[in-house]
Structure 1
Amino acid sequence: MATIISNFAQLTMQVFNTPQKVIITCNKRLSPALQQEVQSLGFTIKRAFATGVELLADVNDCITLNLNLQCASQILYSIKSFEAHNPDELYRQIKDIAWEDILDFNGYFSVNSNVNNETISTPLFANLKVKDAIVDRIKEKKGVRPNSGPELNKAVIHLYWQGNEASIYLDTSGETLAKHGYRKHPGKAPMLEALAAGVVMATDWDKSSTFINPMCGSGTLAIEAALIATNRKPGLYRMNYAFMHILGYDELVFFAARRKLKDQIVKNVDLKIIASDISADAIKIAQMNAKTAGVDQLISFEVCDFEKTSVPHTAGVIVFNPEYGERLGVHTQLELTYKRMGDFMKKDCQGYNGYVFTGNPDLAKKIGLRASKKIEFYNGKLDCRLLCYELYDGTRRKEKADD
């Protein structure tokens, strides 16, 4: 396989039509949702792991994946895999690749990496060796030195180097896919869009019953719910990807894929999404974000304490993302808030499925309800849980007791 890839690297790089190994990365514990998304697009997953999936695809396929995936971070197209024991070997292997057939010699590229090699004290040095190899190769072949730097808004090369095994990829995404592009006003401590999408998917919400998000902050959970229910994909909100800056890019393929996104939007949905927050400023920010996403008409925003949030007498889900407080040492005010959340769900949300996303297990105990499930997530580096509560009404509680 290494020989095949090496030979491939010597040929004119028809990357847009040549299937190779593709790695799609995601935040830790979003892999199950990512797998579901990839398979729904008709791709076959060869390998799944904690922070992503592997499949066989060409760069035109990567265009489709970039535009559609809600839980992904980066989509990496493999160019070459090889052994490298030190920076000099890394340089030689990378310089051997026909970069003049991949990158515009008058263009711009950047390098990022995931490196763990005993000869490297900082990934920045590995990045520099990759950059030097690419620049030197193109200068020899074309007589011009391409520009490079840290910005991810043009072509992006990714190095994965663990031990003595190295792989070089085209990062077809550039800026992370985990940000979906509509949130121009992030607000205070916002949940990353990809994580919010994963949380909504984990609730098993049917996309038609009521969705309630008290303490909504900048509105990310409610907006992601509306996007999922109407089949609006992240590619609708973004017009620049790294694949656009690779030689051979055909913008007709991109615009055809983007037109398909518009055609598949579900319109005229009978849907009730309610988002509330005690802060009028937070609600204003959430409304602006929802308008940018094109779903402001689908969400009812309320300025109120969470206990005053409207709860229609129907089935549905209610999702809280409260403050977590410090990991060690519980704050009395937050203890009371978590207790009030439990009382509110028990008293006013009967017939719903309740969910609380938290990174503080001590505070979670103050909710006072028994979780039927505890789904693991990470919010950044913080170990979190989505706690699930079945909030039976009187009839359902009696039926359960009779079973």
Structure 2
Amino acid sequence: MLTSQIIMQVFHTKSKIIITCNNRLSAYLQQEVEALGYKITRTFSTGLELEGTLNDCIPLNLNLRCASQVLYSIKTFTAENPARLYKELLEIAWEELIDFTGYFSVTSTVDNETITTPLFANLKVKDAIVDRIKEKKEIRPNTGPEANKAVIHLYWKENDAEIFIDTSGETLAKHGYRKIPGKAPMLEALAAGTIMATGWDKKSPFVVPMCGSGTLAIEAALLACDKTPGLFRMNYGFMHILGYEEEVFFAERRKLKDQAKREIDFRIVATDISEDAVDISIKNARTAGVDHLIDFSVCDFADTVVPEGPGVVMFNPEYGERLGVHSKLEATYKRIGDFMKQKCKGYRGYIFTGNPDLAKKIGLRADRRIEFYNGKLDCRLLEYELYEGSKREPKAAE
């Protein structure tokens, strides 16, 4: 537990940091965090743990592509019921953390038999914070559901409870450039994770037929030019904690701006048969500042012009969740397989799908099946080595 004296210095005091992510993204999140020089103490399916200060949370928030929230622990305790939860939280010097003239919100992950809805747990947290600040400062802070100011997060499983400052506030999984989502868009953090899973070298062509709203192509361009999501956002939860040093944030932001490359010397290609989809993609890419790095065109995916390889070609086709679309999609998946065989020789091909039956129609044997979730849907990123000739082709007789 952080004492009252330490609470005043959370930006310089080490504590547990939990970085959350969507299920099955933690391996790629781990790569990112280690690349930033942090030592990870524990990894789990929906995140990882390390130790650091609230100031350490600033570069984490600005750099990470696969993360959802960066949580800084301020107290762990035992709570068998809401009354004990309230009592423990009342002891924290909230008046030294939250601007009592400001606003805060509460989120939670709760699995306790005395709680039927997380909203009740959230209410007990809010009551404790408000009552403490009212007692110490004689002013009642405002609270509500918006996560755009100070955010406090409760983790409560059985009798074990932990309270965090959510230093992110609004989720990091949305990268801020996608003003027009398009039809069934892939979450930006998931798109980044799937690209990282391919092992793409960020130096060779990256081709996205059936690009939809352009998320995969845009994330590839951002990776290629070392442009991080933090450059699209100017508000985080840590900014609303007392003691925040804005010069730390602006120094990190300047560093990220300086490291971002303006140009690349290879092609990123994005195509879609829908003119509306390509128009949305171009607008989203423009917001991200990478529209000049992507070759957009309207065409059937089979007519996509593929640069000379090696490179990566990546599809995110429909999964056929609606009834009555399977026969049409079976033909589409077969055509995807034919396209990769005929036009993408020397490439590595990837298909992201949540439908294993349709995947069988591709007509190619996957070298790897990498597990992901898209929301709650169990998905696979299928990898295919697309050799110049047949892998089993015998050598010509000498």
TM-score, L = length of structure 1: 0.96
Confirm or deny: 8 A CA contact 2:39 2:50 kept in the other structure.
yes
Q: Is 1:189 the counterpart of 2:184 in the alignment? A: yes
Q: In structure 1, how many angstroms separate the alpha carbons of the residues matched to 2:230 and 2:394?
A: 45
Q: Which residue number corresponds to residue 242 of structure 1?
A: 237
Confirm or deny: 8 A CA contact 2:70 2:168 kept in the other structure.
yes
The one-letter amino acid paired with 1:139 is K
The one-letter amino acid paired with 2:334 is K
Task: Deviation per CA, 1:118-176: give whole Å up to 9, x if none.
Answer: 11111000000000000000000000000000000000000000000000000000000
C-alpha deviation, 1:313, in angstroms? 2.4
Match of 1:122 among 111, 117, 123: 117
Q: In structure 2, how many angstroms separate the alpha carbons of the residues matched to 1:400 and 1:138?
A: 80
C-alpha deviation, 1:327, in angstroms? 7.9
Q: Which residue number corresponds to residue 70 of structure 1?
A: 65
Greater mean deviation of Cα atoms: 33-42 or 261-270 = 261-270
Confirm or deny: 8 A CA contact 1:11 1:98 kept in the other structure.
no
SS of aligned partner of 2:67:
coil
User: Are the structure 2 counterparts of residues 224 and 377 from structure 1 closer, same or farther at C-alpha, using a change threshold of 3 Å?
Assistant: same
Confirm or deny: 8 A CA contact 1:356 1:388 kept in the other structure.
yes
C-alpha deviation, 1:348, in angstroms? 1.1
Q: In structure 2, how many angstroms separate the alpha carbons of the residues matched to 1:285 and 1:320?
A: 18
Q: Is 1:55 the counterpart of 2:46 in the alignment? A: no
SS of aligned partner of 2:269:
strand
The one-letter amino acid paired with 2:331 is L
Match of 2:218 among 217, 223, 228: 223
The one-letter amino acid paired with 2:192 is A
Q: In structure 2, how many angstroms separate the alpha carbons of the residues matched to 1:11 and 1:55?
A: 19
C-alpha deviation, 1:269, in angstroms? 1.8
User: Are the structure 2 counterparts of residues 274 and 236 from structure 1 closer, same or farther at C-alpha, using a change threshold of 3 Å?
Assistant: same
Confirm or deny: 8 A CA contact 1:114 1:123 kept in the other structure.
yes
Q: Is 1:373 the counterpart of 2:373 in the alignment? A: no
Unaligned runs of 5+ in 1: none
Q: Which residue number corresponds to residue 338 of structure 1?
A: 333
Q: In structure 2, how many angstroms separate the alpha carbons of the residues matched to 1:131 and 1:148?
A: 8
Q: Which residue number corresponds to residue 306 of structure 1?
A: 301
The one-letter amino acid paired with 1:236 is L
Greater mean deviation of Cα atoms: 94-103 or 327-336 = 327-336
TM-score, L = length of structure 2: 0.97
Confirm or deny: 8 A CA contact 1:10 1:96 kept in the other structure.
no
Q: Is 1:162 the counterpart of 2:157 in the alignment? A: yes
Q: In structure 2, how many angstroms separate the alpha carbons of the residues matched to 1:22 and 1:327?
A: 41
Confirm or deny: 8 A CA contact 1:39 1:45 kept in the other structure.
yes
Q: Which residue number corresponds to residue 389 of structure 1?
A: 384
CA RMSD of aligned residues (A): 1.6
Q: Which residue number corresponds to residue 96 of structure 1?
A: 91
Match of 1:198 among 193, 204, 207: 193
Q: In structure 2, how many angstroms separate the alpha carbons of the residues matched to 1:130 and 1:355?
A: 45
Task: Deviation per CA, 1:304-339: give whole Å up to 9, x if none.
Answer: 000000112221010000000128887100000000
Q: Is 1:259 the counterpart of 2:254 in the alignment? A: yes
Q: In structure 2, how many angstroms separate the alpha carbons of the residues matched to 1:372 and 1:401?
A: 26
Confirm or deny: 8 A CA contact 2:314 2:349 kept in the other structure.
yes
The one-letter amino acid paired with 1:183 is R
The one-letter amino acid paired with 2:226 is N
Q: Which residue number corresponds to residue 326 of structure 1?
A: 321
Q: Which residue number corresponds to residue 38 of structure 2?
A: 43
SS of aligned partner of 1:227:
helix
SS of aligned partner of 1:274:
strand
Q: Which residue number corresponds to residue 131 of structure 1?
A: 126
The one-letter amino acid paired with 1:82 is F
User: Are the structure 2 counterparts of residues 290 and 84 from structure 1 closer, same or farther at C-alpha, using a change threshold of 3 Å?
Assistant: same
Q: Which residue number corresponds to residue 15 of structure 1?
A: 10
Q: In structure 2, how many angstroms separate the alpha carbons of the residues matched to 1:195 and 1:308?
A: 27
The one-letter amino acid paired with 1:288 is K
Confirm or deny: 8 A CA contact 2:309 2:345 kept in the other structure.
no
Greater mean deviation of Cα atoms: 258-267 or 323-332 = 323-332
Task: Deviation per CA, 1:349-373: give whole Å up to 9, x if none.
Answer: 1111000000000000000100000
